[in-house]
Amino acid sequence: MVKTEKGRATHWTGRQITPKPRQPGQSAPERIQMSERSTPKPETTTAEPATPARRLNRTDWIRAAINVMVARSVEQVRVEPLAVDLGASKGSFYWHFKDRDDLLAAVLEEWRLRSTIAVEVRLAQSEPNVKLRILRIMQLPFRSQSAARAADLELAIMGWARRSDAARAAVHALDAARTAHLCELFEELELSHEDADFRANQAYSTLRYVAQRGDIDLAARKRYVERVHHTLTADLPDILSAPTRRDTAAD
């Protein structure tokens, strides 16, 4: 507290304190100003607000699981190591998935969508020539770096399928979907369903073969695919097909 006595400021601590004497020629305001100058003011710093971490979504966890599966194995896909790799808590994982099996089921579904519907839509939009579209499908394992990575994921899942009923069922379903799509393309080339199905299985068997034969030079595998494609389509007409409603569904 401050008590004023005869116009002078005194400090009150329960008893009267004799005020400091003024220096000769110094007024009270000047004395206060000197006192303020003699006491350095503490520096104030404004802390920058911490940048909040991006909230992980379901796709982030699926992609992280796929990376581990391709680089190592499905057995190494574990919740805690994934959380460490992503800089997240396990609580973030359980916000999106019930458990590890739920995550692995999501990986299989992501693989199915990438490897069937997405491929069909993209090729239908970029390649109207049906015979060339069949060739593009047969060349998928080595068309680009991303395609090669997709082939690596497929090999990992095929290895997993030898030990997992769920993975095995997913592989069988994908094989059936791809063969059915190739059959539809051969039917567009004016073949009967029986002949189209036979050639579709030949084309798909070639795709599977070249994807797994990493011991064969890439150029040799490409020549092999082109020769098989020529054998399967040389006697068929060149037909252009317009994108269907399904083909444009991804736009």
The CATH number of whichever domain residue 70 belongs to comes to 1.10.10.60
Residues 77, 158 within the same domain: no
Residues 132, 230 within the same domain: yes
pLDDT of residue 236: 94
Mean pLDDT across 144-148: 74
Residues 164, 217 within the same domain: yes
Q: Which of 115, 136, 158 is where one domain is finished?
A: 115
| Residues 204 and 228: beta-carbon distance below 8 Å | no
Mean pLDDT across 61-73: 94
pLDDT of residue 21: 54
Question: Is 212 inside any structural domain?
Answer: yes
pLDDT of residue 20: 53
Question: Is 182 inside any structural domain?
Answer: yes
Question: Is 77 inside any structural domain?
Answer: yes
Q: Which of 65, 88, 115 is where one domain is finished?
A: 115
Residues 91, 152 within the same domain: no
Range of the domain at 99: 56-115
Residues 227, 134 within the same domain: yes
Model confidence at 68, pLDDT cuts 50, 70, 90, reads very high
Model confidence at 174, pLDDT cuts 50, 70, 90, reads very high
Residues 147, 183 within the same domain: yes
Rounded Cα–Cα distance for residues 69 and 107 (Å): 10
Q: What is the pLDDT of residues 125-136, one digit of tens each?
A: 888 999 999 999
Residues 93, 70 within the same domain: yes
Residues 218, 181 within the same domain: yes
Residues 96, 133 within the same domain: no
Residues 106, 133 within the same domain: no
Question: Is 103 inside any structural domain?
Answer: yes
pLDDT of residue 50: 33
Q: Are strands 2-5 and 8-11 parallel, antiparallel or unpaired?
A: antiparallel
Rounded Cα–Cα distance for residues 118 and 112 (Å): 9
Q: What is the pLDDT of residues 194-205, one digit of tens each?
A: 999 999 999 999
Which residue from 198, 219, 199, 200 is spatially nearest to 210, judged by alpha carbons? 219
- Four-residue CA torsion sign, 155, 146, 69, 169: negative
Question: Is 189 inside any structural domain?
Answer: yes
Q: How many domains does the chain have?
A: 2
Mean pLDDT across 137-144: 84
Mean pLDDT across 147-157: 85
Question: Is 66 inside any structural domain?
Answer: yes
Residues 75, 136 within the same domain: no
Question: Is 7 inside any structural domain?
Answer: no
Question: Is 181 inside any structural domain?
Answer: yes
Residues 169, 227 within the same domain: yes
